[in-house]
Structure 1
Amino acid sequence: MSRNSLMSDGVTVRDAATAAVLRDGTEGLEVLLLRRHGGHVFGANAYVFPGGAVDDSDADAVLAARVSAGVDYARACLGETGRPLAFWLAAIRECFEEAGLLVGCSHLPAEIPAGERDALNAGDRSWADVAARLELRFALDDLVYFAQWTTPPGRPRRYATRFFAARAPEGQRAACDGHETVDHWWAGPAAALASHDRGEIEMMHPTRVTLERLCDYEDVESALAGLMADGTVSS
């Protein structure tokens, strides 16, 4: 699919990227869920993975030059799009913006100043500028591409979203941004599904299907290997 496609219902389908961030908890595999702000037009109050629309700036050559690994993997997965690296870089950016976590980085500073995330979210600093200031190097193959979901016709906003999975970075703490996201939960996949079944939380269908897939795995290593081996799912 091209960057943006105008569908028959007149709503532009925007490219998007999201990442299921995984960690090994005391009782098994856990995944990071963020609660979206209630004022959102799309997915208000739903518990989701960090993610959002792919920006033109995610295809910036300056960012691409900071990719240290995984270029061949990204092109093998999404070579038909003409800008495959942008989806991975958007997923990494969204994790930082919404959850405060830098996934998919082969090089990180010893300490990440909180002001960098704030400046990025406020639009005072570009993603390329933040990457340069923190001297980031991106390892795209640390993010496993496993699904694409397209919002069905009839919705006010529609997205063709690529789903990735990544290991949570050690030594970093997740924190919602207070604007796009208002709460975070490291949840066991089965526990999150049970909470949704009881009507305690809102959840969109692609999130639920992903959690059902994650129930098959006991830890991060097996989850990443299994999602990669199973190949991508499109819907």
Structure 2
Amino acid sequence: MNRAVNVRDAATTALLRDAPDTGLEVLLLRRHASHVFGANAYVFPGGALDAADDDAELRVRCAGGAEAIAEAVGDQGFALAMAAIRECFEEADLLIACTANAPVSARRREVLRAALNQQTACWTDIVTEMDLRFDLDALAFFAHWTTPAGPPKRYSTRFFAAAAPDGEARCDGLETTHVWWARPHAAVAAHDRGEIELMTPTRATLESLARYPDAATALAELMQAATVRVP
């Protein structure tokens, strides 16, 4: 029996912010218990690449950073960066690396996000309605992990980092069920105590982030080409 599992391209984003008293925090979302891959694990917002992530309409809305992303990530760099941005909106209700020139009401935004999650609207539709303009210079590509061979699913995931935008993250109740702005070392310690689930790439990223005092320092270093990327 052939049990080979296709490897899907994916993108995820470590969203960073500073807390007044504790310093650097990173956004973690708990995956729904019904998932066959990573059930209940705390992860960064992310997911598989969609064909529409490379839509020409999205490219013309990019003010900067597309060439740098392509050089760092490869031929699919733009689409993967767009997937990272889209997934942050889908899973956490946060818009990163972009500006909305036609912002919508909170109720309309909720409707648009639900339609995207239910696949009754595509990302390009939402980008057009909100008149989003992208600046990919705000994204730092810093790692590439591929799920080991074997069922049930495999992903070739590019890891990005970005400053968290204003506004609070909200889980969608479908893909994600809990929001945690965690200090990196606290999340690792909670995993060591058996209190939460972390997948290997998430834990490794948290261990790396734990050495930074604040979001600005972390992003500045992650932007550098010498940053370690894990095959």
Specify the TM-score bucket, using the shorter chain as the normaliser. over 0.9
Task: Report the RMSD for the aligned CA atoms in angstroms.
Answer: 1.4
DSSP 3-state at the match of 1:234? coil
1:49 matches 2:44: yes
Q: Which amino acid aligns with 2:91?
A: E
The alignment status of 1:200 with 2:162, answered yes or no, reads no
Residue correspondences, number = 225
Between the two proteins, what is the percent identity of the paired residues?
54
The aligned residue for residue 5 of structure 1 is none
Residue of structure 1 in register with 2:54 after alignment: 59
SS at match of 1:15: strand
Matches within 5 A, 1:22-101: 22-26=16-20, 27-79=22-74, 82-101=75-94
SS of structure 2 residue aligned to 1:152: coil
**TM-score calculated relative to the size of structure 1:** 0.92
Counterparts of 1:1-235 in structure 2, within 5 Å, are 10-26=4-20, 27-79=22-74, 82-111=75-104, 113-170=109-166, 172-229=167-224, 230-235=226-231
Which stretches of structure 1, 4 residues or longer, exceed 3 Å deviation after superposition?
106-112
CA deviations over 1:121-161 (Å, ceiling 9, x no partner): 11121100000000000111111000000000123100000
Structure 2: any 5+ residue segments left out of the alignment? none
State the secondary structure of the residue aligned to 1:233.
coil
CA gap 1:93/1:190 in 2 versus in 1, 3 angstroms: same
Residue pair 2:101, 2:132 contacting (<8 A) in 1 also:
yes
Structure 1 runs not aligned, ≥5 long: 1-7
Instruction: Determine the C-alpha separation between the residues in 1 that align with 2:138 and 2:219.
Output: 9
The one-letter code matched in structure 2 to 1:176 is C
TM-score under structure 2 normalisation?
0.93
1:20-43 per-position Cα deviation (integer Å, ceiling 9, x unaligned): 011111210000000000110100
